[in-house]
Amino acid sequence: MKRFCSKDLVAVIVITVLVLSEASGHRFGYSKPDQRRWSKAHESCAGKHQSPIAISSSKAIPLNMPAIELVGYNNLLPGPITLHNNGHSVSLGIPKTDPAKGKHPYIFGGKLQNEYELEGLHFHWGDKNNRGSEHVLNDIRYPLEMHIIHRNKKYKNVAEALGYSDGLTVLGFFYQVTEHEGNEIGYLLRSFPAIEDYDNQVHLNYTFTLNSLLGDLDLTRFYTYKGSLTTPPCSEAVTWVVFPDLLNISISQIRRFRVLDTGMHGSPMVDNYRALQPLGNRRIFVRKVNARNTALDVVRNEIDHTKWDWVY
């Protein structure tokens, strides 16, 4: 497995942005000039395997692979859950599950070779309804994208995981604006008034399941590719799994994101998405959907995984 240079690893350990679901004190901007400056402080931001990217269903390679299995997503999350305005996004910090009470949520399947444990989640959104998501699907940029971050269990923490190409898996979900409120995200939005100002955080007085955020989404079909964090230090340590089925959010609901403050001269937190990055010679895979494709078919599909390995 690819190991990054020591200089990159030091930067990763010092600055773990968003993935740890808490502010690190490091500030960066999303304007075009600001994004061009990312690579001056973080060499990886100029890498060849960066995220986000534009995904085209017609160009993705269909592949027989297991579904992504979401273990513990139906269990109530351990509390207290922290909702935080870190100046770049809204993040959820989720304590680790007490081993005596069961396993912490984790995922496996797809092209993943290991189990990946939940670390947290955050959002990216736009000032208008025609932009906001980081990934673009079939030339559509959706108004909101949710990222659920998972760490490879073989690494002891996120800082270590970011030093390896198989360190993290991020599940990406798109939202569309509809006339009706999204029930899934409604409970979280009720706590947004408490975090409107930069660096405000609130401990939620309730808990919920991760599946409650996903509603009735069809999770059998997804796109997957090798990429990076979409914020500095842009470590190329992420396997992305992007689901095309859409979650709903109303106009009044998404406005609650747009009134949050970045703490930078009163600027509202909007358009907090990175510019699209070149795909280069990477491959994007899309899961073939059939009744027999489950995560228990790993051995059966091993030949396919060998044939379509992560070749750049």
pLDDT in tens, 73-118: 999 999 999 999 999 999 999 999 988 788 899 999 999 999 999 9
pLDDT, mean of residues 149-177:
98
142, 178, 213, 239, 310 from 246: Cα distances, Å: 9, 11, 12, 20, 27
Residue the block writes with tokens 């706590």: 191
pLDDT for the residue 22: 33
Choose the weakest-confidence range: 88-92, 255-259, 262-266.
262-266
pLDDT, mean of residues 197-219:
95
Q: How confident is the model at residue 34 (pLDDT cuts 50, 70, 90)?
A: very high
Angstrom distance (rounded) from CA 212 to CA 221:
19
**pLDDT > 70? residue 225:** yes
Q: H or E element: which one contains 211?
A: helix 210-214
Angstrom distance (rounded) from CA 264 to CA 268:
9
pLDDT for the residue 306: 41
Which residues, at least 6 apart from 233, have a Cβ–Cβ distance to it below 8 Å?
A: 8, 11, 12, 15, 17, 42, 44, 45, 162
Name the DSSP class of 77: P
Beta strands in 27-66 (DSSP E): 54-55, 61-63
**pLDDT > 80? residue 298:** no
pLDDT for the residue 11: 36
Q: How confident is the model at residue 26 (pLDDT cuts 50, 70, 90)?
A: low
Q: How confident is the model at residue 13 (pLDDT cuts 50, 70, 90)?
A: very low
pLDDT, mean of residues 129-153:
98
Between 290 and 80, the more confident residue is: 80
**Residues with active-site annotation:** 88
**pLDDT > 80? residue 151:** yes
**pLDDT > 60? residue 304:** no
**pLDDT > 70? residue 3:** no
Q: What is the value of pTM for the model shown?
A: 0.87
Between 299 and 215, the more confident residue is: 215
Rg of the chain over CA atoms, in angstroms?
18
Q: How confident is the model at residue 216 (pLDDT cuts 50, 70, 90)?
A: very high
pLDDT for the residue 2: 47
